[in-house]
Amino acid sequence: MYSDVIDENFYSYLLHARERTYSYNLKKIKSFLPPSGKLLDIGAYCGVFMRTAKEMGYEVIGIEPSKWASNEARKNTGDEVICGTLKDLREDANNFDVITMWDVFEHLSDPVGELKDIWLRLKPHGVLVLSTMNMVNWFPKIMKEAYPWILDKHLFYFNPKTLTSMLNKSGFELVCQKSYRHYISIEYLMYKLSSLGIPGASLIEKLSKKSFISKWLVPVDFGDMETYVCKKIDKA
């Protein structure tokens, strides 16, 4: 199913917001990363983070299961993007300094197996960066079944204790845990609220398209999305 994904709204609603999102969150953790080196982005989508990392001095490769998105990523970055998953990466593609997974971990059918494969691909003391939901945060607790990130395509949910345990068992040490901020445009926010049937959102969306405020970016950070920076360690 992922291989057939085509997102017609990406360039109209999401591109600028994703650029701001990745730039902001990467700068927050930059001090925990090597200043340069080989970076593999798992779930690269249209290559926005790859381009951001490249501008900060990294040599980038991407993996993306969507045929449409992986092709867009190649056009947007000029770099190698494999259409598939980590198992489709050639065997000699290893010794990465950094591997990233933004909003990917909850989609995996075997997250521990993926961590072990990532461990093999990283050089000694290489860094893994991933973002996912923290289900013991106040926001999902209050929202319960109405929490917006409870989706069929999200196969597993985590809290810091369970995720840290999985990381340790897979050969990683957690070195930094920070909140992960999304940026979205006013226009996209109204589009999403309209799709949920919120009264008045559809009208505001139509009006905002004709206004200069349509592309204004709104930070979204309830603390429920977190970034984990992890260092590869020798397995016992």
> Is the torsion defined by CA of 45, 50, 51, 53 positive or negative?
positive
Do the beta carbons of residue 46 and residue 75 sit within 8 Å?
Answer: no
Task: Write the pLDDT tens digit of every residue in 85-110.
Answer: 999 998 888 899 999 999 999 999 99
pLDDT the model gives residue 157: 96
pLDDT the model gives residue 188: 72
Reply yes or no on whether the pLDDT at 205 is more than 80: no
**Contacting residues for 61 by C-beta, under 8 A, at least 6 apart:** 38, 39, 40, 41, 79, 80, 81, 82, 93
Give the span between the Cα atoms of 51 and 23, in whole angstroms. Answer: 10
pLDDT the model gives residue 215: 67
In the three-class reduction of DSSP (H, G, I as helix; E, B as strand; rest coil), residue 67 is classed as helix
**Contacting residues for 20 by C-beta, under 8 A, at least 6 apart:** 183, 217
What pLDDT band is residue 203 in, cutting at 50, 70 and 90?
A: low
pLDDT the model gives residue 230: 97
